[in-house]
Each structure stands twice: as structure tokens, then as C-alpha cells.
Amino acid sequence: LNIMSNVRKRKGLLELLVEGPVVGDGSMCMTLEKRGYCRAGPWTPEAVLLYPDAVKQLLREYMRAGADVLQTPCYASSDGRLKRGNINYTVRHKFHTSEINEAACKIAHEVALEGNALVCGGITPVLSYLHKKGDLVIRAEFTDQLEIFIQRRDTVDFILAEFFGHVEELEICIDVMKRSKMPIACTMRIGPLGDLNGVSVKECAVRMARTGADLIGLNCMFDLNTTLKTIKRMKKALDDEGLETPLMCQPLGFMCPEVENSLYGYARLSEDPFALEPRQVTRFEVHAFARAAYDLGVRYIGGCCGMEPHHIRAIAQELSAERGRNPPVQDMCPPCEWLKKSNITTTQKKTNLEFWMNLKPGCGRPFNPSCNK
């Protein structure tokens, strides 16, 4: 095991970023909810203790799709959020941040060893910031999440603070994370309106870079097109200030143009969280997104809620020339030569990426609007 782990750690996140674009993993709690392993609402990650095999399999699918990084599946593993999620479990067991994060490290590490992936320890915003509990309490909640990643640094390659709605809270979190001495990445869940305290995208970008984080960007909440608009503003803000921090993005896997100018993105849709499927992006939309994001200068591209393994595969496939490698299941990627083996003659002719890239897919529901009013 030690030999394998040394081989795996030959290249860390910063070295990979210098070599070429890095592919992240995709949707975790939203996908586990569909599969029956996570509760919509609290979205807490007890699955790492209750159903470790299910969580492992999903991570394995991301790695098989071409992800270079597997995130510890512990979104919402902070004390305040776990208390919410624990309500239905009180009779059996109360879950704590430390045991959840410990299990998440073990799961991600074991899968990463199967395919030379890096493991990123995920840290979530805390309710004590929202409830204005004061600096000490907020820092303690971040420290709780970080502690296991420091203790299990043999299994974790870098730390990611993700899904922050307030840049002020993110600054506190990164200050706490510096204790780890590991590379630091961070993302905010903001759109063109900026953060929840009214801080502009431009100012968020500059402040994120000035924390000293090694990688900064966006995740969740907004669709591929809105994410591109916001990341473009971030890039310009960094360029204007002479800041060179590399950018990352892990967007939502659902199209939702009508909430572009909302602070809460897709959470404002009537369809959230149980009827989003007709809005799910196709892998070809992800191809186009990955290319556009790369052209804008984004160097770490993955997905958040709704971005499934085949979407991650599309990122790895689109950037295969830049990365010097194909996703592990390349022979199943479109334009797929195997379609020629189909018994259906019209299918046999679809081995052309142009055809798929130019397709306007229907939703199959004659009276559905394209956007929800």
C-alpha cells in the first residue's frame, strides 16, 4: 500500500495544474439522493458510514470517467448542518463531523488508489456564520472539519473550501485552512450579482486570490452559460489586478437561464430538488462548456449537482489533447465507432461528433415551456 501511495503522490495538484487542465469529479449528494442514499433537505453525508459501498461506487465512476481528483464525500459535515440532518436519526445514532470525515477520507483514498487520482478534502460553509455566532465559534466549526484532513494527511492531497455564498466567510475559512500546510482551493456559489452580502463578482475574485489560495473559482447554483459569464468577470478582475491565481469551476448540471439574476440560482426553481431532470445538460453541452471554460483560462474543470459521470467524461474527452491522455473508457465516448455495430441503420450513421454537437435535443413533453414562470 505504501509503495502505491508513493507512486500516487508523485504529482500533486500544483504540479498537475502546470502540466495541463485538471478534471474534477461531479455531483455527489444530489446523485446519492436519486439512488436512495441521501436525504434531500439537509443533504448531510451519513451515507459514508451507512452505505460506504454506494459512495465508493459513485467515486469510482467519476474516476473511470477521467476525473483526476476525488473529493471526500462529506459535504454538509459541519456541526450545525449535521444537527439538522440528525433529527431523524436521534434514536439510533448522532453523527459527528470527525467520524464522517474520517470515513470520507478512507473511502476517497481507497478509490483513488485504484486509479492514481488525487484526493481533495472538502470543507463546507457553517451555519454559525449565517447565525452570526462570532469569530471563535465560526473558526471552531471550520477547525472541526479540517482536523481529520490534517490527521489523515497520508490520504488527502489538498483541501477545497466549496459552496461559499459570502466571501467574508470564505476568508475566515481559508485563514483556518492554512494550518494544514496543504494546497488550498476554494469556490463560491455566486452568479453575476455577486455574493449574498452584496459584494461584486470582481471584488470576490480579488479577495479570494488575496487570501493566498492556490486555486479559486465557482461551483454549483448556476448553469453552464451563467457560470461562464461569471468566471469571465472573475478572470478580468484578476488580470486587471495582476493576479495570476488559476481558476476552477464546477457548475450545475441543469440549465436554468431564468435564475441567472437571482442570488440563489437553481434553488429558486419550482422544480428543485425533485423534478429537475428535463433541464439536465447533455454531454455535448458539457463538451462545449469545457472548451469555452478552458479558452477563458479555467484550469480545473469538474461538476457540481447534476453533473454525472458521463458529463465528467465529456470534460476529459474534450480536453484530451491538452491533457495528453484520454478518459479510461475512451472507446465508449462519442463519436463512438461501436454505433456502426448497431442493427439500426440510422444509428449506424451517428458516428460523427458534428452531428451530436449541433443537435437540439427535445424534452419529449409537448406542452412544457423551456423555462419555468
Q: Site residues (CB under 5 A) for Zn ion?
A: 220, 304-305
| Closest distance of CB 360 from Zn ion, Å | 26
Q: Write the burial class of residue 207 (CB in 10 Å: 0-12 exposed, 13-18 middle, 19+ buried).
A: middle
Distance between CA atoms of 250 and 221, rounded to whole angstroms? 10
| Closest distance of CB 189 from Zn ion, Å | 8
**Looking at beta carbons only, is 263 or 339 nearer to Zn ion?**
263
Task: Provide the 10 A C-beta neighbour count for residue 41.
Answer: 12
> End-to-end CA distance of the chain, in Å?
55
Q: Is 305 annotated as a binding residue?
A: yes
**Looking at beta carbons only, is 305 or 314 nearer to Zn ion?**
305
Strand order of the β-sheet with 22-23 is 22-23, 298-301, 247-250, 215-219, 184-188, 158-164, 118-123, 69-71
**Looking at beta carbons only, is 237 or 301 nearer to Zn ion?**
301
**Looking at beta carbons only, is 66 or 306 nearer to Zn ion?**
306
Q: Is 304 annotated as a binding residue?
A: yes
Distance between CA atoms of 351 and 365, rounded to whole angstroms? 27
| Closest distance of CB 7 from Zn ion, Å | 32
| Closest distance of CB 28 from Zn ion, Å | 8
| Closest distance of CB 187 from Zn ion, Å | 10
Q: Is 74 annotated as a binding residue?
A: no
Distance between CA atoms of 34 and 273, rounded to whole angstroms? 10
**Looking at beta carbons only, is 256 or 304 nearer to Zn ion?**
304
The answer to whether 186 touches 164, Cβ cutoff 8 Å, is yes
Distance between CA atoms of 267 and 239, rounded to whole angstroms? 31
CA atoms within 13 A on the CB side of 211: 28
**Looking at beta carbons only, is 193 or 353 nearer to Zn ion?**
193
| Closest distance of CB 221 from Zn ion, Å | 7
| Closest distance of CB 306 from Zn ion, Å | 8
**Looking at beta carbons only, is 274 or 367 nearer to Zn ion?**
274
CA atoms within 13 A on the CB side of 218: 31
Q: Write the burial class of residue 31 (CB in 10 Å: 0-12 exposed, 13-18 middle, 19+ buried).
A: buried
**247 DSSP β-pair partners:** 216, 298
**Binding site, annotated residues:** 220, 304-305
Binding residue positions for Zn(2+) = 220, 304-305
